[in-house]
Amino acid sequence: MRRYFERISLSLSLDLSLHTHPWMILSLPFPPATCSVQSRPLSLKEIKPPPPVMRPLIFFYPANHAEGVEQMSSTNNWKGVFNISSYTQYFNVDTDIVLNRLMSSLYPINGDFFNKIEANPDLYGLVWITTTLVFVIAALGNCGTYLMNKHSDSSTSWSFDVSYISLAACSIYGYAVVVPLGFYFLLQYLGSNASLVRFWCMWGYSFFILVLSSFMFLLVIPVEFLRWIIIIITGGASATFVALNLRSHIEGNNDLTMVLVAAFILQMGLALFIKMWFFP
């Protein structure tokens, strides 16, 4: 009898499933099912460990981590001596940065130029200022020579001496490249931590005041005494700028004082060379 009612209930549920919604089937009074599975304790092999919890990692960097990252990035940007893209990082400066460094070169007694270029030394100033100085002393030197000759002899005619350009290019470019390179190897040999790019950057901006002095020569052509005063002041300022900034690399070492003296004399000698050869 019980099996008979179970069959009726099953057929009724199948018939309702074809004509009604699922929620109506769930509401039918089915007899409770009995579970034949008996519970038993699990063994150690059947127990699974919980999934691992992902926790954030905390890194502690040393104090000089930023400097190391900067050196690594500059090393990664280097693609070879003959690859132009290797030098683009040294020309990544805007007008405000260049003007700020030009103004710093006019105040030589501060001696903090290396601190200002520590994060981003550039070669733009070296290329731009030395090229400007070459053309300025070559052009104004010819003009100054003509005006001086015209002042003494009114019949003097204008003539442009092309040798001024080649002499100016060889002397200025050679000095701007060789002298910082020589001091770099000298300080490295003496145990000082020097940077060649920073040396080239500093020496390049040191020529800016010599560009200004070349224009002053043209304004006071007839007065030779004033021309010597100008070259001594501007040459001394440029030499002081170089010497005081080099002092930061040899501070605390009295044995390297002659390096500062040599840098001062060389920079002063360049200024006197410009005066005597191009503005006689």
pLDDT in tens, 238-252: 999 999 998 877 766
In a domain, 242, yes or no: yes
Supply the pLDDT for residue 81. 60
Report yes or no on 56 lying in a domain.
no
pLDDT of residue 187: 87
Q: What are phi and psi of 107, to 5 degrees?
A: -120, 80
Q: Tell me if 76 is assigned to some domain.
A: no
Per-residue confidence band for 111, with pLDDT thresholds at 50, 70 and 90: confident
Q: Is 269 within a domain?
A: yes
**Position 60 in a domain:** no
Asked if the structure places residue 34 within a domain, the reply is no
pLDDT at 191: 79
How many Å apart are CA 246 and CA 266, to the nearest integer? 13
Whether residue 250 contacts residue 260, with contact meaning beta carbons closer than 8 Å, is answered with yes
Is pLDDT of 159 > 50? yes
pTM for the complete prediction?
0.69
Length of the chain: 280
Asked whether the predicted pLDDT for residue 54 surpasses 70, the reply is no
How many domains, the chain? 1
- At residue 68, does pLDDT exceed 50? no
pLDDT above 70 for 100 = yes
The better pLDDT of the pair 31, 112 is held by: 112
Mean pLDDT over the full length of the chain:
76
Q: What is the pLDDT of residue 142?
A: 85
Contact 236/268 with Cβ under 8 angstroms? yes
Task: Quickly state the pLDDT bin for 160 (edges 50, 70, 90).
Answer: confident
Tell the residue number behind the tokens 């002397």, with chain if given.
Answer: 171
Cα dihedral across residues 231, 233, 234, 235: positive or negative: positive
Structural domain span for residue 254:
121-278
**What pLDDT is stored for residue 82 in this prediction?**
64
Question: Which of 14-28, 30-44, 80-94, 114-128 shows the lowest per-residue confidence on average (mean pLDDT)?
Answer: 14-28
The answer to whether position 78 is within a domain reads no
Judged against a pLDDT cut of 70, whether residue 74 lies above it is answered with: no
**CA–CA separation, 176 vs 69, rounded Å?**
30
Asked if the structure places residue 207 within a domain, the reply is yes
